[in-house]
Amino acid sequence: MSVIEARALRKSYGNTLALDGLNLQLDEGRILGLIGPNGAGKTTALHAVLGLTPYQGQLRVLGCDPWTQRDHLMRDVSFIADVALLPRWIRVSQLLDFVAGVHPRFERSKAESFLSKTSITLDRKVRQLSKGMVTQLHLAIVMAIDARLLVLDEPTLGLDILFRKQFYDSLLNDYFDRSRTIIITTHQVEEVQDVLTDVMFIDRGRIVFSCSMDDFESRYSELLTNPDNVPAARALKPIHERHALGRVLFLFDGVDRAQLAALGDVRTPGLADLFVAIIGSRSDRAAQAQGAPQ
């Protein structure tokens, strides 16, 4: 069953196309990583899903049109963006009071028990909390909401690695179950690689790559080899090639690992490497296309 179904989603700001006919389908129980370069349309896409921005095209989130039914939809959807979202003047206790007052699916005791494991006390104001604590507080609220879709837009931006690790651990261990769905955008691709069940790359307002993590691991392989083996490796049609410290790294799509093992060390590539291979080559082509008439 689809949690999000987007067809030919378009959105422009002046002359800039933020979403250029984006198609996306996300099923229940998945954790999707939406990864793209700056200005690729990630945040615009998420804002469309959250009913924060109008759009052209078709979009259904949990059966609702987010733009016209935002307040209704928000009973089933939670959202964390980077840390600056919570109002700085509010007290932790007031925040819990407010959410409990307006949200039919908020269980206050859950949020309080999560907070009791942190150093956040109820009488503090948000402005007195560190960046990491504000994220913990927001996470505590979101985890106490029995939502069906959780949207995380750069949730760990500016946090140190301990907070980031803790954030994803809490999310997986205490929150996620197979009936919930999560979308994450982040620049720290390596950190979410183990968390995701699906990954999509977005570039210039379109989804340019979409794959489940199971498929990703069986399809893609990385070969580290000596310069002598380069012609043999190139014959197998790598999708990306990179020179590093006197050795050469190749990225292959759908090539038998046994065949590659004869040429050097083979392993599963990082998402970041695949991202560079796919988005990088797109950018190169775009640059060539722009340069061509000259």
Partner 1 sequence: MNTSSNAVPDAFQAQSVPINSLPPTHAFYWSLRRELWEFRSIYLAPLIASALFLFGFLISLMHLPSRTRGIAALDPVQQQKAILSPYHMAAGLLMLVTLIVGVFYCLDALYGERRDRSILFWKSLPVSDLTAVLSKASIPFVVLPVIGFSLTVILQLIMLVLSSIVLAASGFAPALLWSNLSFFRSSFLLLYHLVTVHVIWHAPFYAWFLLISAWARRAPFLWAILPPLFVAVLERAAFNTNYFAFFLLHRAYGGAEAIPPPHSMPMDPMTHLTFAHYLTSPGLWLGLLATAAFLAAAVRLRRHQSPV
Residue position matching structure tokens 């929150």: 175
Q: How far apart are CA 121 and CA 77, in angstroms?
A: 26
17 sits near partner 1 (criterion: CB under 8 A): no
27 sits near partner 1 (criterion: CB under 8 A): no
Distance of closest approach, residue 9 Cβ to partner 1, in angstroms: 9
> How many C-alpha atoms does 90 have within 13 Å on its Cβ side?
15
Q: How many CB atoms lie within 10 A of CB 178?
A: 8
Closest C-alpha among 2, 1, 54, 7 to residue 207 = 7
158 sits near partner 1 (criterion: CB under 8 A): no
230 sits near partner 1 (criterion: CB under 8 A): no
88 sits near partner 1 (criterion: CB under 8 A): yes
Distance of closest approach, residue 59 Cβ to partner 1, in angstroms: 7
238 and 251 Cβ atoms separated by less than 8 Å: yes
Q: Per-residue contact track with partner 1, 89 to 108, x per CB under 8 A?
A: xxx--x--xxx-xxxxx---
Closest C-alpha among 65, 50, 126, 138 to residue 99 = 138
Nearer of residues 55 and 168 to partner 1, judged by Cβ = 55
Nearer of residues 88 and 234 to partner 1, judged by Cβ = 88
Query: Which CA distances in Å does 191 have to 122, 136, 194, 251?
Result: 31, 18, 7, 20
Distance of closest approach, residue 290 Cβ to partner 1, in angstroms: 30
Residue-wise DSSP of 213-279: HHHHHHHEEEEEE-GGGHHHHHHT--SEEEEETTEEEEEEES--HHHHHTTSEEEPPPHHHHHHHHH
Phi, psi of 243 (to 5 degrees): -100, 135
68 sits near partner 1 (criterion: CB under 8 A): yes
175 sits near partner 1 (criterion: CB under 8 A): no
75 sits near partner 1 (criterion: CB under 8 A): yes
Closest C-alpha among 168, 238, 199, 166 to residue 42 = 199
Distance of closest approach, residue 233 Cβ to partner 1, in angstroms: 47
Distance of closest approach, residue 75 Cβ to partner 1, in angstroms: 5
- Within 45-64, the residues that bind partner 1 by CB under 8 A are 47, 50-60, 62-64
Q: How many residues bind partner 1 (CB under 8 A)?
A: 50
List, edge to edge, every strand of the sheet that includes 77-80: 77-80, 149-153, 181-185, 31-35, 198-203, 206-212
65 sits near partner 1 (criterion: CB under 8 A): yes
224: β partners: 249, 265
Nearer of residues 8 and 161 to partner 1, judged by Cβ = 8
Nearer of residues 86 and 278 to partner 1, judged by Cβ = 86
Identify the helix (H) or strand (E) that includes residue 59.
strand 56-61
23 sits near partner 1 (criterion: CB under 8 A): no
74 sits near partner 1 (criterion: CB under 8 A): yes
Nearer of residues 144 and 274 to partner 1, judged by Cβ = 144
Site residues (CB under 8 A) for partner 1? Answer: 1-2, 5, 47, 50-60, 62-65, 67-68, 70-79, 81, 84-91, 94, 97-99, 101-105, 138
